[in-house]
Amino acid sequence: MISLHAVARKAARQLSQTTHQASSSRFNHTASRSSHISTLLLNPELTEEDASNELRWITQEVRDTSSKLMAKGKLPPVEDDRIQEMVERRSTGEPIQYILGSTDFGPLTIKCRRPVLIPRPETAYIFEKLSSAILSSIPPLTSSKRPTKPLDILDLCTGTGCISFLLSRLNPLSKVTGIDNSPAAIQLAMMNNQELGMTDKVTVKFGNLFKDPATLLPLDGSKVGLVVSNPPYIPYDQYQNLPSSVKHFESPSALIGDIDKQDGQVKGKGKGLEFYERISEILPDLLADQGQLEQVGWKGIPRTAFEIGIGQSEDVMDILKSSNVIGRTEVWKDQFGIDRMVVGWNH
Residue 123 falls inside a structural domain: yes
Which of the 8 DSSP states describes residue 254? G
Which of the 8 DSSP states describes residue 298? -
Q: Look at residues 228, 241, 106 and name the one whose alpha carbon lies nearest to residue 178.
A: 228
User: Same domain for 72 and 191?
Assistant: no
User: Same domain for 144 and 282?
Assistant: yes
Residue ending a domain, among 74, 93, 112, is 93
User: Same domain for 164 and 42?
Assistant: no
Residue 264 falls inside a structural domain: yes
Q: Look at residues 191, 204, 227 and name the one whose alpha carbon lies nearest to residue 109.
A: 191
260 vs 123, residue with greater confidence: 123
Residues 97 and 103 sit within 8 Å (Cβ to Cβ): yes
Counts of helices then strands in the chain (DSSP H, E) = 12, 9
User: Same domain for 241 and 311?
Assistant: yes
User: Same domain for 119 and 182?
Assistant: yes
Rg, Å, the chain Cα set: 26
Tell me the pLDDT of the chain averaged across its residues. 90
User: Same domain for 323 and 207?
Assistant: yes
Task: Check pLDDT > 90 for residue 102.
Answer: yes
Task: Check pLDDT > 70 for residue 25.
Answer: no
Residue ending a domain, among 47, 68, 93, is 93
Q: What are phi and psi of 178, to 5 degrees?
A: -100, 130
User: Same domain for 230 and 299?
Assistant: yes
Query: What residues have CB less than 8 Å from 55, skipping those under 6 apart?
Result: 33, 36, 37, 40, 83, 87
User: What is the Cα–Cα distance from 285 to 287, expressed in whole angstroms?
Assistant: 6
The reported pLDDT for the residue numbered 142 is 87
Residue 142 falls inside a structural domain: yes
Residue 176 falls inside a structural domain: yes
259 vs 90, residue with greater confidence: 90
User: Same domain for 137 and 234?
Assistant: yes
Q: Which residues pair with 109 in a beta bridge?
A: 104
Residues 160 and 185 sit within 8 Å (Cβ to Cβ): yes
Residue 25 falls inside a structural domain: no
User: Same domain for 244 and 337?
Assistant: yes
Residue 19 falls inside a structural domain: no
Task: Check pLDDT > 80 for residue 4.
Answer: no
In tens, the pLDDT along 86-97 reads 999 999 999 999
Query: What residues have CB less than 8 Å from 292, skipping those under 6 apart?
Result: none
User: Same domain for 171 and 314?
Assistant: yes
SS3 content of the chain, % helix, strand, coil (to 5): 45, 15, 40
Residue ending a domain, among 46, 63, 93, is 93
- State which residues form the domain around 301: 103-345
Q: Which residues pair with 175 in a beta bridge?
A: 152
The reported pLDDT for the residue numbered 24 is 43
**What value, to the nearest 5°, has the Cα angle with vertex 106 and ends 251 and 208?**
35
User: What is the Cα–Cα distance from 165 to 127, expressed in whole angstroms?
Assistant: 11
Residues 297 and 144 sit within 8 Å (Cβ to Cβ): no
Structurally, the chain folds into a number of domains equal to 2
User: Same domain for 140 and 198?
Assistant: yes
Please measure the distance between the N-terminal and C-terminal CA atoms of the chain and give it in whole angstroms: 99
In tens, the pLDDT along 140-193 reads 988 889 999 999 999 999 999 999 999 999 999 999 999 999 999 999 999 999
User: What is the Cα–Cα distance from 333 to 279, expressed in whole angstroms?
Assistant: 22
Region 38-56: mean pLDDT is: 96
User: What is the Cα–Cα distance from 129 to 312, expressed in whole angstroms?
Assistant: 20
User: Same domain for 139 and 54?
Assistant: no
Residue 54 falls inside a structural domain: yes
User: What is the Cα–Cα distance from 277 to 202, expressed in whole angstroms?
Assistant: 26
CATH, residue 190: 3.40.50.150
